[in-house]
Structure 1
Amino acid sequence: MEVKLRSWRISDLEDLVMYANNWKIARNLTDQFPYPYTKKTGREFIAYATGEGPNHIFAIEVDGQAVGGIGIHPLGDIFRKNAELGYWLAEDFWGKGIITRAIGQVVEFTFKNLDIDRIFARPFGSNMPSQRVLEKNGFVLEARFEGTILKGDELQDELLYALRRKDWNPDE
């Protein structure tokens, strides 16, 4: 199974809506990733992801189909050497190593092409699979913030995982 990262296309709209419209995905993401996920939301997202300016938001393609998304978001000002990693994957493709490979590809892209020294991700404390895929890619837990995420009516912990350029080993 080939995992490829590429730009989003408007032709991905049907797959995007079909796969993203899933509470099991949305419950682990910020409220900017809504549930239900509608065609209108999908069109707006694709327009944003393909808009002007430097943009590093990719579709995760498996066997010619967009089955998830991953992005690296460089910060500015005094945090300009840092970038936040975000990702999601369709439930049908969980447990197959796809997101682990996609994260590895984005890490390589970031450290080879951007002036970034630290990539971080902020999974929910309850999202163990997300923590595992980060750890498989060399990310380490830097912090746990108790009860800082309010998703629905539930307070959850926010974890801060990071990988620093100096600790990255592209041959692993």
Structure 2
Amino acid sequence: MTARTAKLALAAAMTMGLALAGCATQPYGNSNSGYYGSQSSAYGNQPVRCNSCGVVQEVQQVYLQNNGSGGTLGAIIGAVAGGVLGNQVGKGDGRKAATVAGAVAGGVVGNQVGKRNSSDQVAWRIVVRLDDGRYATVTQRENPGLRQGDYVEVRGDRVYPR
């Protein structure tokens, strides 16, 4: 190896070292400026990463009761259908009585069918201990695919993995 090659290799190594030094970042939490700021959590001197981030404490599958609109809608449709069918029977006062009886019977049957078809819905209740020590409980219909110990962010009425 000649002296010139050795100098060129040394210069290249120093240039690469300086270039890589520009990529170095401070370890997490050693900065008092920027996004992390100088906030600390309620548990020691760990910085708060975001106001709505934390660790999943519990995930439970729950069932949400339907608001009952299926039974009401079924009763209305059944009453109309029963009234129309009852109107086709008899003449005069008999027709009126058959229309009323058909509407009542159709309403009762439609209500039961509507309730049966609008069953409870599956949801998930997620309890999160936020970085600042508070707890957040979110119930969402979508399966979050989370487990206890996962780090998440709570946005609105949903929990997202981080």
Normalised by the size of structure 2, how large is the TM-score?
Answer: 0.21
Which has the greater radius of gyration? 2
Structure with greater proportional strand content: 1
Higher normalized contact order (CA 8 Å, seq sep 6+, divided by chain length): 2
